[in-house]
Amino acid sequence: ELQEMGFSFYCPFPKRPTIGRIYGRWDFLKQALLTYKSMFGDLHVSRSFVVPQDSCWPKESWDMKLGDIVSNIRTNDAYSDHRAELECMGFDYGKEKVRR
């Protein structure tokens, strides 16, 4: 009905990647987590952490809201099919630890 009235659904701004589209890909998330661990020594990712656009990080992970994803893994059991691998990487499913 809106199209009949001439409404345009065109959006000139690119859609920001979401967990379900790019961030949902395990291989990208795994690389981001491993990079984080190599830089900080653990996987205690603060909720506000966003992967910087920096050559130290895989380009596919730039701007990834890694803190939100990690929080989602802890609280909603996201990526449950990769739980054993996450635990082997040192992921702690306990209460969120805040990096200062």
Tell me: the pLDDT tens digits for 47-58?
Answer: 999 999 999 999
Domain housing 76: 19-89
What is the tally of structural domains in the chain?
1
d(Cα 19, Cα 29) in Å, to the nearest integer? 10
**Domain contains 84:** yes
Type of residue found at 84: A
**Domain contains 56:** yes
d(Cα 100, Cα 15) in Å, to the nearest integer? 31
Q: If we measure between CA atoms, which residue out of 30, 48, 31 comes closest to residue 99?
A: 48
Whole-model pTM?
0.72
**Domain contains 100:** no
Contact between residue 33 and residue 89 where contact means Cβ atoms under 8 Å apart: yes
Specify the pLDDT at position 17. 46
Q: Which residues, given as ranges, of the chain have pLDDT below 70?
A: 1-3, 7-24, 95-100
Contact between residue 33 and residue 44 where contact means Cβ atoms under 8 Å apart: no
